[in-house]
């Protein structure tokens, strides 16, 4: 407690939680959009997934801009290897507030941008109880 108070006094304008880790976690959670507040639609999700793939895989901006619902992923994007799959899954979980179980991951999931987006819409809808999300 005393350290946080000293740090705040010594560095004005730098926010530090007064009550330790719990306050930090609480402040972080408040700054994140909730799944219920996200506008989830199949069309916007395709764009969000394409953008996420571009950032996560460090794709050329032209490649990212060309990603559509029908764009093949495995075999088409050399950047998408087995290590990148884990990174993409983590990014999807973080962005959409979903949990992806190991048994849900398959080649079909990464067949196209649309398949990945449809999976995200279904997971989000199941989490928020909004049917199939369409």
Residue pair 4/18 in contact (Cβ under 8 Å)? The answer is yes
pLDDT score of 41: 64
Q: For the chain, which residues make up each domain, given as ranges? A: 2-31, 35-128
Residue pair 73/106 in contact (Cβ under 8 Å)? The answer is no
Structure tokens at 111: 């067949």
Biggest CA-to-CA distance, the chain: 57
Structure tokens at 51: 């953008």
User: What is the residue-level pLDDT of the chain in tens, covering all 134 positions?
Assistant: 344 444 444 444 433 334 443 333 344 334 334 443 444 566 789 999 999 999 999 999 999 999 999 999 998 999 999 999 999 999 999 999 999 999 999 999 999 999 999 999 999 998 877 654 44
Q: pTM of this prediction?
A: 0.66
Distance CA 126, CA 66 (A): 30
Record: fold of 35-128: 1.10.1200
pLDDT score of 40: 57
């Amino acid at each position: 407690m005393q350290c946080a108070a000293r740090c705040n006094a010594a560095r004005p304008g730098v926010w530090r939680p007064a009550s330790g880790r719990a306050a930090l976690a609480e402040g972080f959670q408040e700054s994140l959009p909730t799944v219920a507040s996200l506008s989830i639609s199949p069309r916007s999700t395709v764009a969000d997934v394409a953008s996420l793939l571009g950032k996560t895989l460090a794709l050329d901006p032209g490649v990212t801009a060309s990603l559509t619902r029908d764009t093949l992923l495995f075999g088409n994007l050399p950047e998408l290897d087995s290590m990148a799959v884990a990174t993409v899954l983590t990014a999807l979980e973080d962005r959409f507030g979903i949990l992806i179980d190991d048994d849900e991951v398959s080649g079909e999931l990464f067949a196209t941008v649309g398949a990945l987006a449809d999976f995200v819409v279904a997971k989000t809808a199941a989490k928020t109880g909004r049917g199939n999300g369409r």
